[in-house]
């Protein structure tokens, strides 16, 4: 199925789900009171889904790939912050493992999507020759 909107992309849906799960975790743990870490982890998880959306809207595969690399970096930053929050005692090992797995899964999915774009002959609407 061809994605018509960024909301059609599984990687965007999964990034959104991760962002939501982190928000819910904050609301049910002491992480919500650690304001600097709370702000940073919300920003990085939000940045992941936002960069997927922004890259898609650029209508060119080259730019989209660049934004996907940024999104992947944000997923890694989020994963690092998941460690920081766990090391600070904000949630259980079970919650930590679940968030960690979600972050790593999203990174793999983004990498796979980048790989598929690298092997695609479609260059995006921006690079489509004008119709005569």
- pLDDT of the chain, 132 residues: tens digit per residue: 578 899 999 999 999 999 999 999 998 899 888 999 999 999 999 999 999 999 999 988 889 999 999 999 999 999 999 999 999 999 999 999 999 999 999 999 999 999 998 887 655 554 454 455
Half-sphere exposure of 45 (CA within 13 A, CB side): 30
Is 58 within the bounds of a domain? Answer: yes
Tell me the CATH number at 60: 1.20.1440.60
Is 132 within the bounds of a domain? Answer: no
Containing structural domain, residue 99: 7-119
Residue ranges with strand state E in the chain: none
Provide the whole-model pTM. 0.87
Is 127 within the bounds of a domain? Answer: no
Q: How many CB atoms within 10 Å of residue 112?
A: 11
Q: What's the structural domain count of the chain? A: 1
Q: How far apart are CA 51 and CA 53, in angstroms?
A: 5
């Amino acid at each position: 199925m061809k994605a018509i909107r960024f909301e059609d992309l599984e990687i965007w849906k999964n990034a959104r789900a991760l962002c939501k799960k982190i928000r819910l975790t904050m609301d049910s743990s002491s992480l919500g009171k650690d304001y600097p870490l709370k702000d940073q982890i919300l920003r990085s998880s939000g940045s992941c889904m936002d960069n997927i959306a922004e890259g898609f809207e650029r209508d060119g595969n080259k730019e989209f790939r660049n934004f996907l690399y940024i999104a992947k970096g944000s997923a890694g930053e989020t994963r690092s912050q998941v460690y920081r929050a766990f090391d600070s005692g904000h949630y259980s090992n079970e919650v930590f493992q679940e968030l960690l797995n979600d972050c790593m899964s999203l990174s793999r999915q983004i990498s796979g999507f980048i790989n598929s774009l690298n092997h695609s002959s479609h260059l995006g609407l921006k690079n489509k020759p004008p119709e005569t």
